[in-house]
Amino acid sequence: MAARRSRSPQLIVGAALVALLVLAGLLSLVWTPYDPAALDVTNKMAPPWTDGHLLGTDQLGRDVVAQLMAGALNSLLVAVLSTAGAVVLGVALGLTAAGGGRFWSDTLTRATDVAIALPGILVALVLATFFGPSNTTAIVAIVVWFVPGAARIVIGPARQVLAREFVEAAMAYGRSRSFVLFRHVLPNLGPLIIVMASMMFAGAILTEAALSYLGLGAQRPTPSWGRLLFESQSVIGQAPSLVVFPGVCIMLAVLGFNLLGDGLRSRLDPRHAREVVV
């Protein structure tokens, strides 16, 4: 136990990758090697290490490092907002389902089952048709897609907490159902929600990349990794690195949040650490 607590390689590698992503994204706010939107017409599709372009330039001569950094910020922005939205709504829904009467509880459980079966990309396509492609569309699509899953994850454990005797004791001293849900059940689900949020974050980054690849997410001049991937696939023969770099970024970011989630899980999961939860 003590050994696992202090040194979990997953946790360390995951945290390092996440930190790198966050640093790169935040740094892009104040500094990038070149303006990500600036065209360098004499240096189109320059290979890495050309004229101070560390990873080269794209087909319009824009600096790749600068665009990847700005893309990291965009990924983080979309992932933070959509994960926060999905967690807040999903947890609220899950708690309500677990704590409501049997009819309400069954109805919500069924509804989440149906919603989980819907393909998320379809939801995003419909939304994009209505509202036009943008980061907001991507965020709304991800939230709508993730909420039922979040609710589903929370319902079971919430019911378990509700079955414990301190809940009945709280009723016996006059606490309301909603007080119990938010002041007793929610804190006891804290570790579970943290792990879930971390996993969802990975999913949100991947989904944002997929949506912007399909042209449903951020539009130029906002750089996004999925967009970079899409734009460079036509020149994959001349400049394969233009496809490889954004791909690697997406992969490392998703890997980082998944590892972080796994690491946190083994530290916080009730089955591993009984003293932390329930």
Partner 1 sequence: MALVEINALSFSYGRAPVLKDLSFSIEQDSTLGIVGESGSGKSTLIRVLCGLMPVQSGIARYDGRDISEWLDREPRGFRRRNQIVFQSPASSLDPRMRVGQSLAEPTKSLERRTPSDEELGQWLTVVGLGPEALQRYPHQLSGGQLQRVAIARALTVNPTMLYADEPTSALDVSIQAQVLNLLIEIRRRLGLTMVIVSHDLAVVGRVCEQVIVMRNGEIVESGPTASVLRYPEHEYTKSLVNAARAVSLGASHDAADAII
> Hey, which residues between 149 and 178 contact partner 1 (CB under 8 A)?
164-166, 168-175
Residues 6+ apart with CB under 8 A from 237: none
Query: What's the CA gap between 254 and 208, in Å, rounded?
Result: 11
Considering the complex, state which of residue 188 and residue 207 has its C-beta at the smaller distance from partner 1. Answer: 188
State the minimum distance, in angstroms, from the CB of residue 170 to partner 1: 7
Considering the complex, state which of residue 117 and residue 172 has its C-beta at the smaller distance from partner 1. Answer: 172
By CB under 8 A, how many residues form the interface with partner 1? 19
> Hey, which residues between 238 and 277 contact partner 1 (CB under 8 A)?
274-275, 277
Considering the complex, state which of residue 35 and residue 106 has its C-beta at the smaller distance from partner 1. Answer: 106
- Contact of 217 with 192, CB cutoff 8 Å: no
Binding mask of the shown chain, residues 180 to 209, with x at each position contacting partner 1 by CB under 8 A: ----x--xx-x-------------------
Considering the complex, state which of residue 184 and residue 272 has its C-beta at the smaller distance from partner 1. Answer: 184
Eight-state DSSP code of residue 43: G
Query: Is there binding between residue 103 and partner 1 (CB under 8 A)?
Result: no
State the minimum distance, in angstroms, from the CB of residue 100 to partner 1: 17
Considering the complex, state which of residue 44 and residue 159 has its C-beta at the smaller distance from partner 1. Answer: 159
Considering the complex, state which of residue 49 and residue 166 has its C-beta at the smaller distance from partner 1. Answer: 166
Phi, psi of 50, rounded to the nearest 5 degrees:
-95, 125
- Contact of 249 with 257, CB cutoff 8 Å: no
Q: Which pair of tokens denotes residue 145?
A: 């897609």
State the minimum distance, in angstroms, from the CB of residue 261 to partner 1: 22
At position 143, the amino acid (one-letter code) is V
State the minimum distance, in angstroms, from the CB of residue 89 to partner 1: 23
Q: Which pair of tokens denotes residue 259?
A: 């590892």
Tally of helices (H runs) and strands (E runs) in the chain = 12, 0
Considering the complex, state which of residue 3 and residue 165 has its C-beta at the smaller distance from partner 1. Answer: 165
3-state secondary structure 152-170: HHHHHHHHHHHCCHHHHHH
State the minimum distance, in angstroms, from the CB of residue 276 to partner 1: 9
Query: What's the CA gap between 226 and 70, in Å, rounded?
Result: 12
Phi, psi of 162, rounded to the nearest 5 degrees:
-65, -25
DSSP, collapsed to helix, strand or coil, labels residue 35 as coil
Q: What angle separates helix 102-117 from helix 135-162, to the nearest 10 degrees?
A: 140
State the minimum distance, in angstroms, from the CB of residue 182 to partner 1: 13
Eight-state DSSP code of residue 41: G
Write out the residues near partner 1 by the rule CB under 8 A: 164-166, 168-175, 184, 187-188, 190, 274-275, 277-278
